[in-house]
Structure 1
Amino acid sequence: MGGLSIWHWLVVLLIVLVLFGRGRVADIMGDFGKGIKSFKQGMGDDEEEAKAKAAKIHSLEGPHHDAKPAGEAAKDPHPGAEHRN
């Protein structure tokens, strides 16, 4: 009583085809496919925007992002050691 057999689904499919016709069902499925394609394209656009923002932020940081913080520079036991020969 709880589950539907294959025959129940076939009857439902037959009723849907009679009510809407084959052409209308095909149109609905085509629109559904276009919707999925549009959704995937929108997701791809979002990823491209995120990458562009990350690249912009990275370019704005410039070369100073590798420098030591001020506290670490004071802790260096041999300041200027890189200049010794």
Structure 2
Amino acid sequence: MGAHWTGILIVVVLLVLLFGGRGKISGLMGDLAKGVTEFRKGLRDTGDDEKSTTSQSTAALNDGASEDARPAREDERTGG
């Protein structure tokens, strides 16, 4: 049973990464770490934006609800 082409491909890629030049792996890992950090920062920023939008929407709805409730109470007082 011979080696499968995907196994050979993986070995070739690893060899190129290991011996392709100085600092290739550390450079790739540094770039990966920066990408993950930026991704998490973006998620955090998006979450903050959604929270502020939600709180503004809730405040607007509460203002509208209190305005709608006032005429109903006045009608109850006047009997109308």
Q: Structure 2: where are the runs of 5+ without partners? A: none
After the TM superposition, which of the residue ranges 58-67 and 6-15 deviates more from structure 2? 58-67
Rate the CA distance shift 1:13–1:63 in 2: closer, same or farther, 3 A.
same
Q: Which residue of the partner structure matches residue 26 of structure 1?
A: 26
Superposed structure 1 runs of 4+ greater than 4 Å apart: none
What TM-score, normalized by structure 1, do the two folds share? 0.58
Aligned residues: 72
Q: Structure 1: where are the runs of 5+ without partners? A: 74-78
Distance 1:53 1:65 in 2: 18
What TM-score, normalized by structure 2, do the two folds share? 0.61
Distance 2:12 2:62 in 1: 67
Between structures 1 and 2, the one with greater helix share: 2
